[in-house]
Structure formats: structure tokens, C-alpha cells
Amino acid sequence: MQTYRYAWKNNPQMGLYPCPKRITLYGRTCRVLVRGKLNSALVEFIDNGQREVISRNALRKAK
């Protein structure tokens, strides 16, 4: 099985109503565990093992 590393790069919305969850996830390295329907994915963050279901539009290849 091939492993790809991604970084969560969605807009953290620093404007009028900031979303604290998006701010903490921004730029963290993760790996995709499962790709789901409706363009979603289950990812696991490398630093602490936290799992989240996120939009695949927010994934960017890690450098």
C-alpha cells in the first residue's frame, strides 16, 4: 500500500466569525485513511493521531 502525505489547507476564516477548529487544523500534516462519498475523506493527523472527516477539497500535497 502506498502512503501519501497531505496537509490540511482550508481557509481558516480569520474574518468576522473565526472558526477555532479550522484555525487549529490549518497546515497540519495528515494521511488519508478512507475516501468517502460526497468528496469526503477520513484523515489521521500525524502529530497526535486525531481523526477527522474532512472535505477532500481541503487536502494539499505536503512539501
Span 24-40, pLDDT tens digits = 888 888 999 999 999 99
For residue 51, is pLDDT > 90? yes
pTM of structure: 0.75
Which residue ranges form the domains of the chain, and what is each CATH number? 5-61 (2.30.30)
The pLDDT assigned to 1 comes to 52
Cα 55 from chain centroid (whole Å)? 8
Q: How far apart are CA 19 and CA 9, in angstroms?
A: 14
For residue 61, is pLDDT > 80? yes
Q: How far apart are CA 23 and CA 30, in angstroms?
A: 15
H/E stretch holding 12: none
When the pLDDT of each residue in the chain is averaged and rounded to a whole number, the result is: 82
